[in-house]
């Protein structure tokens, strides 16, 4: 019996250690990527300010061509909303909550049971083009599992953001 007690005690101590360390991990998670697009801000802005145009460059739209979308509110700017339903990505929505012409767009993201987040797009001059910074921010709360998962967000969505920005660059530059 003694080895089983030691094993059980070891497992309990490991769980306590993992939970304790989790609370030392960051609660606020931010992932950001940027790309310079050879076009003025006014040419880039319509693509980030409209949920309907988002899918022209979204890294996820191409991954699941059977995804169903519903649009509501205005076509662009504050209040413009897109909801999706997909086997791969389940259900969710994004709604523009702030829009500053040619400089900034903020989007509330709702991933259902997976939680909420905020995405934003910053556009600023960079030489003869526009630097687009795409930012993802979420709060893991006091859930130790989500805090551990927070360590993986950059790896999970960073490459998607890079692909999306590259596609945005191609779409915008081709449209000039």
Would you list the domain boundaries of the chain? Answer: 27-174
Chain centroid to CA 149: 14
Cβ proximity of 99 and 49 under 8 Å: yes
Cβ proximity of 110 and 116 under 8 Å: yes
41 is written with which tokens?
A: 């801000």
CA–CA distance from 79 to each of 51, 67, 68, 76 (Å)? 10, 22, 20, 8
Q: What is the pLDDT of residues 108-146, one digit of tens each?
A: 999 988 889 999 999 999 999 999 999 999 988 887 877
Class of domain 27-174 as given by CATH: alpha beta
**Mean per-residue pLDDT over the chain, rounded:** 89
Instruction: Calculate ∠ Cα 29-86-80, nearest 5°.
Output: 65
pLDDT of residue 48: 98
Cβ proximity of 160 and 39 under 8 Å: no
pLDDT of residue 114: 80
33 is written with which tokens?
A: 């990527």
Query: Does the pLDDT at position 94 exceed 80?
Result: yes
Give the H or E element holding residue 126: strand 116-126
Chain centroid to CA 79: 18
């Amino acid at each position: 019996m003694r080895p089983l007690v030691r094993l059980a005690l070891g497992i309990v101590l490991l769980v306590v250690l993992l939970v304790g360390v989790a609370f030392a991990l960051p609660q606020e998670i931010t992932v950001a990527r940027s790309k310079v697009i050879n076009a003025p801000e006014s040419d880039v802005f319509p693509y980030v300010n409209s949920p309907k145009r988002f899918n022209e460059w979204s890294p996820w739209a191409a991954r699941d061509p059977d995804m169903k979308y519903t649009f509501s509110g205005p076509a662009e700017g504050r209040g413009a909303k897109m909801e999706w339903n997909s086997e791969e990505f389940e259900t969710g929505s994004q709604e523009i909550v702030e829009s500053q012409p040619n400089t900034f767009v903020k989007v509330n993201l709702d991933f259902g049971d997976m939680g909420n987040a905020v995405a934003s797009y910053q556009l600023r001059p960079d030489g003869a083009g526009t630097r687009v910074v795409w930012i993802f921010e979420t709060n893991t709360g006091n859930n130790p599992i989500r805090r551990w998962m927070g360590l993986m967000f950059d790896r999970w969505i960073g490459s998607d953001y890079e692909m999306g920005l590259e596609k945005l660059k191609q779409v915008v530059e081709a449209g000039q």
